Amino acid sequence: MNWYEKLNQYFPIEEMKSQEHMELLLEDKGDIYHKDEGPHHVLMYVELDDFIFIDYLFVSKESRGQGLGKTLLKKLKEKEKPIILEVEPIDYEDTDTEKRQRFYRREGFKHASKIGYRRKSLATDQVNEMEILYWAPKGESEESIYENMKKTYNEIHTYKDKELYGKAYQDVADVLTFQHDKDAITE
């Protein structure tokens, strides 16, 4: 089974980019879009000067619980940049969602509670809500994480979307929101 088939079997259709999209990113944006693949894993990620975005992280069922995911994250953490990823909200009917979130929490990732992410899937036409998790080695703010997510959305997620899918993804302002702290009321 090739790397794309592994990802496609594991991730829901509404979260998947097409194989053509990912191959085009690897070809056209190979300086920032990377694939780390082994017999039991596939890691697709974006690395810019000031952050890393994990697009997909797959560890085969038979290799889970053996430290492979932790090792892959450790390699990224050694770069000392914030790491951002999208994850499904916990669905108590799907135990994988809870295990996934628990894994990232153990690895020091935080939930970006001020960032909202709702994107309409071009594959299913359904609105897909995701949570943003991040690891901030130097205490980076959620606002900086939000700005980096907008960059990722515009440079990676929507890259050549009309050409690849026949229609465009929504504008970043319709997908990502940031809840600013309300000013303290003075009496």
The most confident of the ranges 34-43, 84-93, 119-128 is 34-43
Percent of the chain with pLDDT over 90: 79
Radius of gyration of the chain (CA): 17
* Cα–Cα distance for residue pair 8/66, rounded to 1 Å: 23
Strands (E) in the chain, as ranges, are 33-38, 41-47, 52-59, 83-87, 110-111, 115-120, 127-129, 131-135, 176-178
Token output for 33? 């879009």
Q: Which fold has domain 3-172?
A: Aminopeptidase (3.40.630)
Higher pLDDT, 44 or 121: 44
Q: Confidence class of residue 65 from pLDDT cuts 50, 70 and 90?
A: confident
**For residue 94, what pLDDT is reported?**
67
- Domain boundaries along the sequence of the chain: 3-172
